[in-house]
Amino acid sequence: MSILTTVDEAVASLSDGMTIGIGGWGSRRKPMAFVHGIAKSDLCDLTIVSYGGPDVGLLCALGKIRKLVYGFVSLDSIPLEPHFRKARQAGTLPEVMELDEGMFQLGLRAAAWRLPFLPTRAGLGSSVMDVNPGLKTVKSPYGDDEVVAMPPLHLDAAFVHVNRADEHGNGQVLGPDPYFDDWFCLAAERAWMSCEALGLADAHPATILINPTMVQGVVLAPGGAGFTECPPDYPRDEAAQAAYAATARDPDAFAAWMEAL
């Protein structure tokens, strides 16, 4: 059965106040076609869960985020995402949950496995515990160790982008790093996947990261991660990224950039 759909149809199924996970990593293989769809919609009061890049910055700039859960927000070649930094400095993000990258991953896994928490030493002795007073520790039933109980990061919806996919929901990543896109999908009630091209490449079976049980829709979106990188299909467009980053200093330039989307 084909589950091909469109960005507009996927975004139309969302509603205000949802918790949305966005795959990719920094400025790498971000599902920007979906992000642009959310950006141009009337959606608001969203909780965004992301290893953040321009997805987070763009939605911060538009005031669509009520709560942000993140391990970092970077454009890679630009260490700190400018629109995110502007929002943090201005205090316009109502709520944030700053996490160690490993804790973030365990939160996705706990949600996928329907567990109340997963134990980790990450965060102990760090300011992560100070800025997240809701995080709890638990004592091991097998000894005296006390560890952090990372709660699940339940998602109402998730969006990812891959190199190749088929109409049934198999998704293939041909680049060097799968990141955690599969866990975003597994942690979500519903997930959508965009792809550079339809038709799976003749490559190792381990490159098939997503299967039909993980997603409810597939969107053909060539260039759908741009301006972020999507190897081996294309590198990051550094000039386009720099132009986007510069709009954080000029509201009129940002409005023009949005108009051109």
Mean pLDDT of the chain: 97
Lookup result for tokens 């507009």: 8
CA–CA separation, 106 vs 179, rounded Å? 13
pLDDT at 235: 98
- Which one-letter amino acid corresponds to residue 151? P
**pLDDT band at residue 14 using 50, 70 and 90 as cut-offs:** very high
CA–CA separation, 40 vs 36, rounded Å? 6
The answer to whether 174 touches 232, Cβ cutoff 8 Å, is yes
pLDDT at 26: 98
Domains and CATH numbers, the chain: 7-115+155-259 (3.40.1080.10), 116-151 (no CATH)
pLDDT at 129: 95
pLDDT one-digit tens code per residue, 91-135: 999 999 999 999 999 999 999 999 999 999 999 999 999 999 999
Model confidence, pTM: 0.97
What is the pLDDT averaged over residues 47-51? 98
Lookup result for tokens 């959606």: 43
The answer to whether 120 touches 106, Cβ cutoff 8 Å, is yes
pLDDT at 101: 96
What is the pLDDT averaged over residues 78-95? 97
**pLDDT band at residue 250 using 50, 70 and 90 as cut-offs:** very high
What is the pLDDT averaged over residues 187-209? 97
CA–CA separation, 161 vs 159, rounded Å? 7
Task: Enter the tokens of residue 25.
Answer: 């990593």
**pLDDT band at residue 238 using 50, 70 and 90 as cut-offs:** very high
Q: What is the β-pairing status of strands 65-73 and 155-165?
A: unpaired
pLDDT > 70: percent of the chain: 100
Dihedral Cα 6, 82, 68, 77, nearest 10 deg: 70
**pLDDT band at residue 72 using 50, 70 and 90 as cut-offs:** very high
pLDDT at 181: 98
CA–CA separation, 208 vs 178, rounded Å? 10
> How far is CA 230 from each of CA 2, 82, 128, 163, rounded to the nearest angstrom?
25, 22, 31, 7
CA–CA separation, 11 vs 35, rounded Å? 9
pLDDT > 90: percent of the chain: 100
pLDDT at 29: 98
Task: Give the CA radius of gyration of the chain.
Answer: 18
**DSSP per residue, the chain:** ---B--HHHHHHT--TT-EEEE-SBTTBS--HHHHHHHHTS---SEEEEEEESHHHHHHHHTT-EEEEEEEEE--SSSSS-HHHHHHHHHT--SEEEE--HHHHHHHHHHHHTT-S-EEESTTTTSTHHHH-TT-EEEE-TTSS-EEEEEPP--EEEEEEEEEEE-TTS-EE--SS--TTHHHHHHHEEEEEEEEEEES--S--GGGEEE-TTT-SEEEE-TTTTTTSBBTTTB---HHHHHHHHHGGG-HHHHHHHHHT-
pLDDT at 94: 94
Lookup result for tokens 């896994």: 109
